[in-house]
Amino acid sequence: MPSAKPRIAYNFRGVTMPTASHPAIRRLKRQGHSPSIHGNKLWKSSFLLIDYLNKHRPEHAARVMDAGCGWGIGGIWCAKALGSEVTSVDADDGVFPFLEASAELNGVNTTALCKRFEKITTAELKAYDMLIAADVCFWDELIAPVSNLINRAVRAGVKKIVIADPERSPFFEVADRAIDRHCGELLDWRTHNPVSASGALLVIENA
């Protein structure tokens, strides 16, 4: 019996999410593009983030920062579904060809910005209505930078912050700090179709 062909993309909540088998992604890899900080595939927490935002449409989303964007699918969904002007931020500029390919598949554009979390200033954050992130707490060393980014975003008046994670321990440390300091909410979240994904969402409403 012949083996099933690998899936090249998922259509999820109105956005096309390419996998590593998609021709556009394979072409980039053949050209030698290779992200160096885990931005090498579509991470399942993006499904959690998009599903939540789809069910709880933010009131303010004209300008969105997608922090630690990787292939940028969360921000791409915001651009496509909410009409947001999106800045896709990552410390590894090696992800941006994959971001561009994913955006092109969805007929949208985002602005790429190569910057580490700790270099994103309060002044910059004042321009944004919403901060989103998925799978950005994969090392203990990221607890402080992510927590401080949240603190600066709240101080800057960013109205909504949503961070999705598959429930790694560094994420829970970040969430605990945000809950204590900013009255954040921790939500269990799951999706089942077309991908089974489970994890948690940190949601901060900064009205």
Q: What is the chain's pLDDT, residue by residue, as a tens digit (207 residues)?
A: 455 678 899 999 999 999 989 999 999 988 988 775 554 557 799 999 999 999 999 999 999 999 999 999 999 999 999 999 999 999 999 999 999 999 999 999 999 999 999 999 999 999 999 999 999 998 999 999 999 999 999 999 999 999 999 999 999 999 999 999 999 999 999 999 888 999 999 999 997
Q: What is the pLDDT of residues 153-165, one digit of tens each?
A: 999 999 999 999 9
Q: What is the Cα–Cα distance from 135 to 179, expressed in whole angstroms?
A: 19
Which one-letter DSSP state was computed for residue 117? G
CATH number of the domain at 9-205, out of 2.60.40.3080, 3.40.50.150, 3.90.850.10, 1.20.1260.10?
A: 3.40.50.150
pLDDT more than 70, % of the chain: 95
Peptide bond into 6 cis (omega under 30): no
Q: What is the Cα–Cα distance from 41 to 70, expressed in whole angstroms?
A: 8
Beta-sheet strands, E only, within 33-171: 63-67, 85-90, 111-114, 130-134, 160-165
Q: What is the pLDDT of residues 18-63, one digit of tens each?
A: 998 999 999 998 898 877 555 455 779 999 999 999 999 999 999 9
- What are the φ and ψ backbone dihedral angles of 180, each rounded to 5 degrees? -65, -40
Domain positions in the chain are: 9-205
Q: Is 116 within 8 Å of 146 (Cβ atoms)? A: no
